[in-house]
Amino acid sequence: MRLLVTGGAGYIGSVTTAMLLDAGHDVTVLDDLSTGHRDAVPAGAAFVEANITEAGPVLATAAYDGVLHFAAKSLVGESVDAPAKYWGNNVAGSLALLDAVRAHNVPRFVFSSTAATYGDPVEVPIAETAETRPTNPYGASKLAVDHMIGSYAQAYGLAAVSLRYFNVAGAHAGLGERHTVETHLVPLVLQVAQGKRDHVSVYGTDWPTPDGTCIRDYIHIADLARAHLLALDAATPGVHEICNLGNGIGFSVREVIEACRRVTGHPIPAVDAPRRAGDPAVLVASADRARTLLGWKPEHPDLDRIVADAWSLLT
Ligand SMILES: NC(=O)c1ccc[n+]([C@@H]2O[C@H](COP(=O)([O-])OP(=O)(O)OC[C@H]3O[C@@H](n4cnc5c(N)ncnc54)[C@H](O)[C@@H]3O)[C@@H](O)[C@H]2O)c1
Ligand SMILES: O=c1ccn([C@@H]2O[C@H](COP(=O)(O)OP(=O)(O)O[C@H]3O[C@H](CO)[C@H](O)[C@H](O)[C@H]3O)[C@@H](O)[C@H]2O)c(=O)[nH]1
């Protein structure tokens, strides 16, 4: 297929691009490099440095079979302090992109949605049928785009899949997480092992969980990226599917730090800190829908393997 990947210079978009190229697809990456890196774009992909609002001219150059839309702002805290950036980039930007997709008759659309659309869950594991009550503008912006895509599928026959990622980590094809402003637990803990930080803060030790720290569902980037290829195949005209992507296994912050100690052999000092605003206690996915609809099955659910793959890029 001829595919446009927005955000392909970022962490998840670059790994997925590498996998799409391996599978024989023809890939153009469109990225404004606001948080991504030019050198993360795999060599076999064409590259256009542009905002998603400028995708139209690119889609006009050839008959594209699909768009995979990763480009977004995704810092929860920043979304609370600077919501305009989130409604602008994520919602208005995605609307412009969807309009270009419609204008150029691109049949397939795969979108990076998030567990943040659910907010604080009433029940875990979280299924796609759970209520969506985002607790911050980031999650709300992603949910708005999910709704937008649903209406485009219904009105214009777009074949669309929203993939709701839980906590993505690890590395694949020599590509890993490289955010200038890093907020994610695994890379921050590994920065301590690298000697780039003195310690990692544990945000909250009084959560209603067995060891008092938050529980998350960590998914290997390779498993996550692979689901996008399956989604392109499973997408049906006029239908908008939503699939959670996680392993269905929860690990606490302390368990993640312990896994990083095992893998790196570094003591990794951890300091107890207050809760981080907006964090739900437990986020664990039910990914049954991805299994049945996409035929997806995680190949690397082991936390130590996820951490080891991230670590191998740093050493
Ligand atoms: N990393 C996670 O754990 C996680 C979890 C859930 C959902 N997501 C979603 O997955 C997607 C990718 O996340 P990531 O961790 O790879 O982030 P990232 O910041 O590494 O990648 C995003 C890329 O999009 C580009 N970009 C941003 N706004 C743009 C715009 N308006 N026009 C063109 N390019 C733009 C950036 O330069 C960057 O290369 C995002 O949509 C994010 O919301 C990520
Ligand atoms: O230095 C840190 C960093 C994180 N944490 C904790 O570790 C857990 C995981 O935090 P991350 O920031 O790695 O991940 P989140 O669960 O907050 O974020 C995930 O969900 C978000 C929405 O809630 C976004 O979708 C985001 O992209 C996705 O990785 C949380 O309990 C957090 O409080 C710490 O204790 N110390």
State pLDDT tens for residues 269-290. Answer: 999 999 998 899 999 999 999 9
Q: What is the mean pLDDT of the chain?
A: 97
pLDDT at 266: 98
* CB neighbour burial string for 185-224, b if at least 16 within 10 angstroms, e if fewer: bbbbbbebbeeebeebebbbbebebeebbbbbbbbbbbbb
pLDDT at 96: 98
- DSSP tag of 208: S
pLDDT in tens, 15-47: 999 999 999 999 999 999 999 999 999 999 999
Residue 68 near residue 27 (C-beta atoms within 8 A) = no
**Cα of 278 from ligand 2 centre, angstroms:** 10
pLDDT at 247: 97
**Cα of 183 from ligand 1 centre, angstroms:** 13
pLDDT at 278: 85
**Residue among 3, 76, 7, 75 at smallest CA distance from 37:** 7
Rounded to two decimals, the ipTM of the complex is 0.97
In short, whether 117's Cβ falls inside 6 Å of ligand 2 is no
pLDDT at 274: 97
**Cα of 212 from ligand 1 centre, angstroms:** 30
pLDDT at 238: 98
Residue partners of 277: CB distance under 8 A and separation at least 6:
77, 80
Residue partners of 18: CB distance under 8 A and separation at least 6:
42, 172, 173, 175, 225
pLDDT in tens, 183-197: 999 999 999 999 999
Check 64, 138, 165, 218 and give the catalytic one.
138
Nearest atom (ligand 1) to Cα of 167: 3
In short, whether 231's Cβ falls inside 6 Å of ligand 2 is no
Strand partners, 112: 163
Nearest atom (ligand 1) to Cα of 90: 31
In short, whether 51's Cβ falls inside 6 Å of ligand 1 is yes
Nearest atom (ligand 2) to Cα of 139: 22
Residues in the chain where the model's pLDDT stays below 50: none
- Smallest CA separation from ligand 1 atom 18, residue: 10
203 is catalytic: no
